[in-house]
Amino acid sequence: MDQVALAQVPAGGPGERIAWAVDGLALELPSWGFVNTGTRFGVFPQAGAPRDVFEKIDDAATVARYSGIVSSVALHIPWDAVDDYAALRAFAAERGLAIGSINSNTFQHPDYMLGSLCHPSADVRHRAIDAIAACCSIAAETESKSVKVWLADGTNYPGQDDLRARRRRLVEGLRAVHRQLPSGVRLLLEYKLYEPALYSTDLQDWGQALSVCRLVGEQASVCVDIGHHALGVNIEQIVASLLAEGRLGGFDLNDKKYGDDDLMVGSIDPYQLFRIAYELVNARRDDADPVAQRCASETIFMLD
């Protein structure tokens, strides 16, 4: 929609909401979406897959050029680690992109077998805190506005660890990270119903994530991955509740059929995507609820 057409859209009407959806929506692409992919059982190489983060950004710039609604690229550390993050930010800016959320990785190192921030060992917990704090420093260098944390922490059988102690460690660890956040940078906390732990997940749903964010600090918000829920869960009601609380930080936009399938967003239940979008658009226009209005205007939309 060009500027002339926008000028002809009546203020306050349905056309204004459509104009926002067309011209005001900015999507974030994940750098890991451009690499070789496959299933949980194997990765399949593809010709032309990017070899480093610079080539990932080049690919994202191509998507941005053809789609017109991509504004930033999310990084994953240490997968996208470089020596000079200011130079990486400049490289992206030359291609019309900003550096988006900085995603931490505390789930691949062997030390994290029993968890990261929730691990019984203080040494392992400190390792995880340092890893996420490094992401906070990277956010400052790249002028990113958010640090996203997803934890694979959990237990595989009853009695493997003390559940309340694990929650206490989680809050303490995230508070330590929160103190490292640069001014204006938010901590986005992502939850997941299950996997990879087989018995308990330390951060399994939006209610747990919200309660932890309240204990951690004002810069902590919840990230909603659409695939991280039980079948039939009313995700738009979750979105409405988090907007009312002022704690909706962002989305990982995908879809699911059975479990966390990471299918293309809207491919299975497009009407669900519409229902979620309705809550966001409605909140952006609600002058009577400034908390939800501000929250909706700052929400990050990342394709996952």
Output the 3-class SS for 174-201: HHHHHCCCCCCCEEEEECCCCCCCCCEE
| Residue 133 C-beta-side C-alpha neighbours within 13 Å | 14
Residue 225's SS3 state is: strand
**Tokens found for residue 220:** 């902590």
The pTM of the full predicted model, rounded to 2 decimals, is: 0.90
Cα three-residue angle 161-167-171, rounded to 5 degrees: 140
Q: What is the residue whose two structure tokens read 């103190």?
A: 179
Q: What is the CATH number of domain 25-303?
A: 3.20.20.150
Q: Note down pLDDT in tens along the chain; length 304 residues.
A: 444 444 444 555 565 555 655 557 889 999 999 998 877 788 888 888 999 999 999 999 999 999 889 999 999 999 999 999 999 999 999 999 999 999 999 999 999 999 999 999 999 999 999 999 999 999 999 999 999 999 999 999 999 999 999 999 999 999 999 999 999 999 999 999 998 999 999 999 999 999 999 999 999 999 999 999 999 999 999 999 999 999 999 999 999 998 888 899 999 999 999 999 999 999 999 999 999 999 999 999 999 8
Contacts of 110 (CB under 8 A, 6+ apart): none
Instruction: Please count the helices (runs of H) and the strands (runs of E) in the chain.
Output: 10, 12
